[in-house]
């Protein structure tokens, strides 16, 4: 026997019980995004490799070691499975000259690919919801992006998240800080780990983001970028904080929050939880004013964030998420040829009226079909036997108690509608 094939390590199947929760989540997310005026975008999963090298930065974890890159065997093009969406989104915005029409509020969602060591909350195929606001320079849009996060946690009844905030200033300010940082790190060269020594000259800011516990006190005492911010950057940062204060959103300034991607400037933020273990960042983002120009567009400011869907769903579950399994309104049981033909007609008529109908397929006795009807979770079984078929009628059997009744197939949709309204009234609805 040949060996059974398995999914690629770190890439997960999402089976129906879980995928139904994803569907509910995505509906909540779509209506949340609409309420802020964001419009959908869909970009390819595969992009030219140079896009990510240029946008994310050569000396980042993602570009150095996490990308799934390959050469197109037909034409030799260097391609990469997207590790994130911002670069693709900005590429598309430039390519289609979307900023000619004014600022754009955009979102996308879908799988991203990074060759990391798989563990809880860290996968090789994972999903992000990306939200980008392009063409807007002020602190108001940074604040809006942050308020959006707070509203989503509220919509999902998640309360175990906190907001961390920092400012990365401008390129000049970062350069001055970088000088001081390199001096400091050089003076403490012996205390650095291998990664730190390697990054000392290529990307010293990233050393501040180290996860190595032995380096914590060293990086805590390092020169802070915030002390190098000029007046304009400081005013921007303070204006963002003012909106958050006005909205009653608590935050902590974390001077070591530098983000793993090179394109950020000024405001950066992360929404973090303590209830998921080490992989606690559920949403991260910030301003990236240089990226549009860096990718060949006319200079334009921009800011955005990405939500890690697997992590938010895990948090939602931990907060008591209770989406119910989807059940049909009715299960259609039928025995005999004439009954089968009437059953098809009845099922289609009901669906045309908006009902969810599960039609029994595969034959079997009334008894075995009724078992399936019970197991389906439907409120009602609709029965069609030879008698009913001959009379053009359907027997309607409530599966959670109540009288069975026989109705003409032509009146079935009306009767079901009345029953549904009745159930909603009993449940305290309309």
Smallest distance, Å, CB 209 to ligand ATP? Answer: 8
Q: Please work out, in degrees rounded to the nearest 5, the angle formed at the alpha carbon of residue 30 by the alpha carbons of 45 and 140.
A: 95
With respect to ligand ATP, which residue has the nearer C-beta, 85 or 139?
A: 85
Output the CA angle 69-26-95, nearest 5 degrees. Answer: 45
The residues facing 397 across adjacent strands are: 381
Q: Which is nearer to ligand ATP, 284 or 412 (CB)?
A: 284
Contact status, residue 146 vs residue 163, Cβ threshold 8 Å = yes
Q: Which residues bind ligand ATP (CB under 6 A)?
A: 84, 114, 116, 121-123, 126, 128, 260, 279, 281-282, 284, 306, 308, 310-311
Nearest residue to 332 (alpha-carbon basis) of 385, 391, 403, 386: 385
Q: Between residues 63 and 192, which has the closer beta carbon with respect to ligand ATP?
A: 63
| Nearest residue to ligand ATP on Cβ basis | 308
Cβ 318 to ligand ATP shortest distance, Å: 15
Question: Whole-number minimum distance, CB 307 to ligand ATP, in Å?
Answer: 7
Closest by CA to 57, choosing from 274, 233, 203, 174, is: 203
Nearer to ligand ATP, 133 or 380 (CB): 133
Nearest to 314 by CA among 25, 88, 40, 86: 25
Please, what is the minimum distance in Å from the beta carbon of residue 257 to ligand ATP?
10
| DSSP conformation letters of 250-274 | --EE-TT---SSTT-EEEEEEEE-S
Q: How far is the CB of 284 from ligand ATP (least distance, A)?
A: 4
- Nearest approach in angstroms of CB 90 to ligand ATP is 15
Least Å distance, CB 178 to ligand ATP, is 20
Q: What angle do CA 376, 381, 386 make, to 5 degrees?
A: 130
Nearer to ligand ATP, 209 or 349 (CB): 209
Query: Is the Cβ of residue 271 or residue 355 nearer to ligand ATP in the bound state?
Result: 271
Smallest gap from Cβ 310 to ligand ATP, in A, equals 5
Q: Which residues contact 224 (CB under 8 A, 6 or more apart)?
A: 177, 255
Instruction: Closer to ligand ATP by CB, 122 or 176: give it.
Output: 122
- Report the candidate in 375, 351, 372 with the shortest Cα–Cα distance to residue 360: 372
* Identity of the residue, 113 or 355, whose beta carbon is nearer to ligand ATP in the bound complex: 113
Single out the residue of 289, 318, 314 nearest to residue 303, CA to CA: 289
Residue closer to ligand ATP by CB (options 284, 333) is: 284
d(Cα 240, Cα 234) in Å, to the nearest integer? Answer: 10
CB-based contact 347:317 (threshold 8 Å): no
Taken in order 58, 306, 86, 219, is the CA torsion positive or negative?
Answer: negative
**Residue 36 Cβ vs ligand ATP, minimum distance, rounded to whole Å:** 19
Residue nearer to ligand ATP on the CB measure, 128 or 369: 128
Distances in whole angstroms, Cα of residue 409 to Cα of each of 345, 348, 356, 370, 381: 9, 12, 17, 20, 14
* Maximal C-alpha separation, the chain: 94
> What gap in Å lies between CA 147 and CA 166, rounded to an integer?
16
Give the nearest distance from C-beta 131 to ligand ATP in angstroms. Answer: 11
Nearest to 78 by CA among 93, 100, 63, 92: 63
Which one, 32 or 123, has the nearer CB to ligand ATP? 123
Give me the least distance between CB of 84 and ligand ATP, in Å please.
5
Listed in sequence order, the residues at least 6 apart from 327 whose beta carbon sits closer than 8 Å to its beta carbon are 356, 376, 377, 378, 379
Residue 106 phi/psi, 5-degree rounding, is -130, 155
């Amino acid at each position: 026997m040949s060996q059974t094939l398995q999914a690629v390590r770190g890439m997960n199947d999402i089976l129906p019980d879980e995928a139904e929760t994803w569907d509910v989540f995505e509906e909540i997310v779509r209506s949340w995004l609409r309420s802020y005026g964001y419009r959908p975008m869909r970009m390819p999963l595969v992009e030219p490799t140079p896009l990510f090298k240029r946008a994310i930065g050569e000396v980042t974890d993602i570009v150095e070691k996490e990308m799934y890159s390959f050469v197109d065997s037909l034409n030799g093009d260097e391609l990469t499975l997207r590790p994130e969406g911002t670069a693709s989104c900005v590429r598309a915005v430039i390519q289609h000259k979307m900023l000619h029409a004014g600022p754009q509020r955009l979102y996308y969602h879908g799988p991203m690919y990074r060759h990391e060591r798989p563990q809880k909350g860290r996968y090789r195929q994972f999903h992000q919801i990306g939200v980008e606001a392009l063409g807007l320079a002020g602190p108001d849009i940074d604040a809006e992006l942050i308020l959006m996060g707070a509203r989503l946690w509220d919509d999902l009844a998640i309360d175990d998240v906190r907001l961390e905030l920092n400012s990365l200033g401008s390129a000049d300010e970062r350069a001055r800080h970088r000088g001081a940082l390199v001096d400091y790190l050089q003076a403490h060269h012996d205390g650095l780990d291998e990664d730190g020594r390697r990054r000392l000259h290529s990307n010293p800011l990233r050393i501040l983001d180290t996860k190595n516990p032995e380096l914590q006190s060293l990086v805590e005492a390092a020169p802070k970028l915030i002390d190098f911010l000029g007046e304009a950057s400081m005013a921007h940062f303070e204006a963002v904080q003012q909106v958050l204060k006005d909205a009653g959103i608590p935050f902590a300034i974390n001077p070591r929050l530098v983000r793993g991607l090179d394109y950020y400037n000024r405001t950066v933020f992360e929404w973090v939880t303590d209830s998921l273990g080490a992989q606690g960042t559920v949403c991260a983002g910030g301003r990236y004013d240089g990226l549009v120009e860096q990718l060949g567009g006319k200079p334009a400011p921009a800011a955005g964030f990405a939500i890690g869907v697997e992590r938010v769903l895990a948090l939602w579950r931990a907060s008591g998420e209770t989406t119910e399994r989807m059940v049909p309104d009715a299960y259609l049981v039928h025995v005999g040829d004439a009954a089968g033909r009437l059953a098809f007609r009845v099922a289609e008529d009901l669906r045309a009226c908006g009902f969810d109908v599960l039609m029994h397929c595969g034959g079997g006795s009334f008894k075995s079909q009724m078992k399936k009807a019970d197991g389906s979770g439907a409120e009602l079984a609709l029965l069609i036997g030879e008698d009913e078929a001959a009379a053009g009628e359907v027997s309607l059997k409530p599966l959670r108690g109540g009288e069975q009744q026989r109705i003409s197939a032509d009146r079935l949709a009306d009767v079901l509608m009345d029953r549904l309204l009745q159930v909603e009234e009993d449940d305290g609805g309309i």
